[in-house]
Amino acid sequence: GDGDLFHLSRNTDDGETIVDTSSQDDEIRKYVNRVTLLERMLQAKVEGLKTMTNRVTVLEDVVQKLQSKLKTEQENLIEQQLKEKEEMNAQMANLTNTIDSLAQEKNSLSDQIEELALQQQLVEKCHNATVAKLQETIVSLENEIQLRIEEAEKQQQSLAEIGSKEEEET
């Protein structure tokens, strides 16, 4: 059909076969462009994952420092200690929520990276299958051309033999 990826040739009115190499090139270009796009997307996701990992590490350090500061502040007056403890707890809860959120985002990015890698593998398989099919078609067409050349040579030889017999008879 019209959208058939492997419909590579057509016959003209006089019986010639024309190979449509532009559609082969277009299909290959589409797969190469898709692979490139997926590689770029994968690289962007990896960079995002690295950024998120760094942010988590920084926030974990902040939490650690806050916990250590909390211990030092406990030596102060009881009223001051209670106020600061409440503030620290609020900050801790906020930071913990942020860390949890970042961890979820990191997991989501990891899942997306895996999905992109699978998509890239699928595109590569399709690309390789397409290239293999195109190569098979090219070999088949070359064989057909060779066969037709041999047939034409045999016909020419037969005509030459008939012509020489006619000359001998006259």
pLDDT tens per residue, range 32-50: 999 999 999 999 999 999 9
Asked if the model's pLDDT at residue 1 lies above 50, the reply is: no
Asked if the model's pLDDT at residue 82 lies above 90, the reply is: no
* Cα 107 from chain centre: 21
Whole-structure pTM value = 0.36
Asked if the model's pLDDT at residue 64 lies above 60, the reply is: yes
Q: How far apart are CA 127 and CA 28, in angstroms?
A: 7
Q: How far apart are CA 51 and CA 48, in angstroms?
A: 5
* Cα 121 from chain centre: 6
* Cα 28 from chain centre: 13
